Chain A
Amino acid sequence: MLEVNNLSISFIQYEKGLKQKTIQVISDLNIKISKGEILAIVGSSGSGKSLLAHAILGILPKNALMSGTILYDGRELTTKRQKKLRGNEIAFIPQSVNFLDPLMKVGSQVRSSVSAGEKKEKQRKIFDRYSLDSRTDSLFPFQLSGGMARRVLVASAVVGGAKLIVADEPTPGLHPEVVNETLGHLRELANQGCAILLITHDIGTALNVADSIAVFYSGITIEISPVSDFSGKGESLRHPYTKALWNALPQNDFNPIDGFQPSHIEQHSGCPFNSRCTFKSSECVSKLPLIRDVRFGKVRCYHAT
């Protein structure tokens, strides 16, 4: 359905005077999602996850440079196709109610995603499906509760007949019940044949609902694994960072490792995780490993088996 190959995104910044500096935020990213599958992209804040969503939708800021290819339905997703498909076949679920126009009633905002047919009727039907009564139509975004806002945003994505849904951090700081409800909606959509890219920093959320998980570190995918590999002491996981992440969770060992994720400003050669890794060798410092297949998953590490 969606295939992202060697995607890199960088920004040009002006330092003192007119000296230019390129900051690479996403390097060499590869992911693939099929129909009916939920792929979760997990990474800590600042690892460049949101930009991936913006790149797929073609709403990157003007000063961003993008390289690599994005294939949708087997064909390249050009700017022209993005313009045509976004809002209907490719839909976006944003982080919060702040992404709705504060001065516009939610009913008519959702109707704007309907491209053809009886707009009002379609919007009403979708709202019914997510148990939003007719009073909701004429509410303003600030009047929605957290749960209602979630359902409105999901409804807005579904109403255009989406086949690919990009959900950027769709459950931030929400009540567990609301989180489960929203994830339930995503699962249901996937079961109906949607491909879903779920971007989150919360690995718990991802494990709940996703089929496979891509782990992001400093703008690089270091591992893509089926969700079943996240079990036990993480023996089936491939990358040392993924193992460390898994074992740092409260329900597992609750054992964090030292150090921080390097920021994009420090240009790293080699593996970005090397300074925190126990398997570090000389080649980890000199050259970034290529992504390779290991046991039904992918990993970017010289030492993974």
Chain B
Amino acid sequence: MINTSFFKLILMKILRVLSLLMALCFISFFLVSHSPIDPVQAYVGADMTRVGAEQRDQIAKHWGLDKPPVERFLLWGKSILKGDMGTSMIYRSPVSEVIKQRFLASLALMGIAWILSGILGFIMGIIAAMMNGSWIDKIIKWYSLTLASTPTFWLGLLLLMVLSVKFGWFPIGMGVPAGVLAEEVTLANRINHIILPALTLSITGVANIALHTRQKLIDVLESDYILYARAKGESGFKLLLRHGLRNIALPAVTLQFASLSELFGGSVLAEQVFSYPGLGQATVQAGLRGDLPLLLGIVLFSALFVFSGNLIADIIYKLVDPRLKEGKSI
């Protein structure tokens, strides 16, 4: 039953995301405008010696960098409200266009990692909990704890060194083969290039889900209602299906949606290691080369992305868990 309290919740969430985004705009703008990177110098790069002071002033003027920061912020804020996110300095196309293109590439990568790590982690967690204390449990726990403390970029480098450089099974990096016309890139090419970064993200993502699922299922198995179910003659796999999975599925799904932030953070690192042309790599470029409009655009977009993940988790809980769904009606 969807009632008024549900709409109240959504309204509160919308207010919260608006205030969050505003605070993010202020902070990011403040930080970037105080960064030591000179956008013009970053843009011109090695040709700096051949560009005179006058030309540099002109570039700065063209970009509006000659105006004081507060005025620039207000100008940017005004156009953002109209839906115009500005133009990226380094890619020289509209920010929204860059984000869209980059995000689609990242989406494939993150999607694969998200589904793989979710399913694998869930299964591993269940196996570990069912075999609590056995050597299988110990291996899964050891694997998860090790992987949970492994930096994504280090794992990416390791996979590259072993699988790409030593064995040559996968390309070294990038989203498509070098030197091939865009029209000639096949789906197989793309898949071939996405495997390693997706694998990197999945391998580390599994750990969290597996450890959480394991602990939750162990708690459930020790609960009074499992004892009672056994006293009623239920046992084995049927008992797990009827009472175990029912009680751990919801927390697992919630955790999975709430993990989008970690996934996004991980993808920044993985894309950098594999030079994969996704949103993460664009973020790094925008930061290093002082591309303020793009960076702010990505900050806002990623905040929305992570927020939606958490919001979906909240809503699923409200809609599916009877204790929250029908709690009010009693």
Of A37-45, A91-99, A250-258, the stretch lying at the interface with chain B is A91-99
In the complex, are the beta carbons of A86 and B323 less than 8 A apart?
Answer: no
- Of A54, A96, A103, the residue contacting B322 (CB under 8 A) is A103
In the complex, are the beta carbons of B230 and A143 less than 8 A apart?
Answer: no
In the complex, are the beta carbons of A92 and B232 less than 8 A apart?
Answer: yes
Asked if B212 is at the interface (CB within 8 A of a chain A CB), the reply is no
Contacts of B231 in A (CB 8 A): 57, 59, 86-87, 92, 94
In the complex, are the beta carbons of A112 and B228 less than 8 A apart?
Answer: no
Contacts A140-B323, A142-B323 given: A83-B227 contact, CB under 8 Å? no
In the complex, are the beta carbons of A99 and B227 less than 8 A apart?
Answer: yes
Contacts A103-B246, A103-B321 given: A87-B232 contact, CB under 8 Å? yes
In the complex, are the beta carbons of B232 and A156 less than 8 A apart?
Answer: yes
- Of B232, B233, B322, the residue contacting A140 (CB under 8 A) is B322
Asked if B229 is at the interface (CB within 8 A of a chain A CB), the reply is yes
Interface residues of A, CB < 8 Å — how many? Answer: 26
In the complex, are the beta carbons of B228 and A83 less than 8 A apart?
Answer: no
In the complex, are the beta carbons of A101 and B247 less than 8 A apart?
Answer: yes
Contacts of A113 in B (CB 8 A): 232-233
Asked if B234 is at the interface (CB within 8 A of a chain A CB), the reply is yes
Contacts of B243 in A (CB 8 A): 101, 104
Contacts of B232 in A (CB 8 A): 86-87, 91-92, 112-113, 156, 160
Q: Name the residue on A nearest B327 (C-beta).
A: A142
In the complex, are the beta carbons of A99 and B233 less than 8 A apart?
Answer: no
In the complex, are the beta carbons of A104 and B246 less than 8 A apart?
Answer: yes
Contacts A112-B242, A143-B326 given: A101-B229 contact, CB under 8 Å? yes
Contacts of A205 in B (CB 8 A): none
Asked if A172 is at the interface (CB within 8 A of a chain B CB), the reply is no
Contacts of B322 in A (CB 8 A): 103, 140, 142
Contacts of A87 in B (CB 8 A): 231-234
Asked if A88 is at the interface (CB within 8 A of a chain B CB), the reply is yes
Contacts of A92 in B (CB 8 A): 228, 231-232
Chain B 197-240 near chain A by CB (<8 Å), digits 1 or 0: 00000000000000000000000000011011111111100000
Quick one: which of A57, A99, A115 has the most chain B CB within 10 A?
A99
Q: Name the residue on B nearest A115 (C-beta).
A: B233
Q: Name the residue on B nearest A143 (C-beta).
A: B330
Asked if A270 is at the interface (CB within 8 A of a chain B CB), the reply is no
Given pairs A87-B232, A94-B231, 10 additional interface contacts (CB within 8 A):
A86-B232, A87-B231, A92-B231, A92-B232, A94-B224, A94-B227, A101-B225, A102-B247, A113-B233, A142-B330
Q: What are 29 A-B residue pairs whose CB atoms fall within 8 Å in the complex? A: A57-B230, A83-B235, A86-B231, A86-B232, A86-B233, A87-B234, A91-B232, A92-B231, A94-B231, A98-B224, A99-B224, A99-B227, A101-B225, A101-B229, A101-B242, A103-B246, A103-B247, A103-B250, A103-B323, A104-B246, A112-B232, A115-B233, A140-B322, A140-B326, A142-B322, A142-B327, A142-B330, A160-B232, A160-B233
- In the assembled complex, the Cα of A97 lies from the Cα of B224 at a distance in Å of 9
B10 to chain A, nearest CB (A): 24
Interface residues of B, CB < 8 Å — how many? Answer: 22
Chain B contact residues, CB within 8 Å of chain A:
224-225, 227-235, 242-243, 246-247, 250, 321-323, 326-327, 330
Asked if A100 is at the interface (CB within 8 A of a chain B CB), the reply is yes
Contacts of B321 in A (CB 8 A): 103
Q: Name the residue on B nearest A153 (C-beta).
A: B228
Query: Which 9 interchain pairs have the tightest Cβ spacing?
Result: A87-B233, A99-B228, A92-B231, A87-B232, A99-B224, A140-B322, A101-B225, A57-B231, A98-B224
Contacts of B250 in A (CB 8 A): 103
- In the assembled complex, the Cα of A256 lies from the Cα of B200 at a distance in Å of 69
Q: Name the residue on A nearest B250 (C-beta).
A: A103
B321 to chain A, nearest CB (A): 7
- In the assembled complex, the Cα of A102 lies from the Cα of B234 at a distance in Å of 17
- In the assembled complex, the Cα of A96 lies from the Cα of B224 at a distance in Å of 9
In the complex, are the beta carbons of A98 and B225 less than 8 A apart?
Answer: yes
In the complex, are the beta carbons of B227 and A59 less than 8 A apart?
Answer: yes
Contacts of A142 in B (CB 8 A): 322-323, 327, 330
Q: Name the residue on A nearest B228 (C-beta).
A: A99
Q: Name the residue on A nearest B133 (C-beta).
A: A62
Contacts of B229 in A (CB 8 A): 101, 112
- Of A57, A102, A160, the residue contacting B225 (CB under 8 A) is A102
Contacts of A143 in B (CB 8 A): 326, 330
Contacts of B326 in A (CB 8 A): 140, 143
Q: Name the residue on A nearest B243 (C-beta).
A: A101
In the complex, are the beta carbons of A100 and B225 less than 8 A apart?
Answer: yes
- In the assembled complex, the Cα of A111 lies from the Cα of B8 at a distance in Å of 38
- In the assembled complex, the Cα of A73 lies from the Cα of B330 at a distance in Å of 45
Contacts A140-B322, A143-B326 given: A88-B246 contact, CB under 8 Å? no
Contacts of A140 in B (CB 8 A): 322-323, 326
Q: Name the residue on B nearest A53 (C-beta).
A: B231
- In the assembled complex, the Cα of A57 lies from the Cα of B228 at a distance in Å of 10
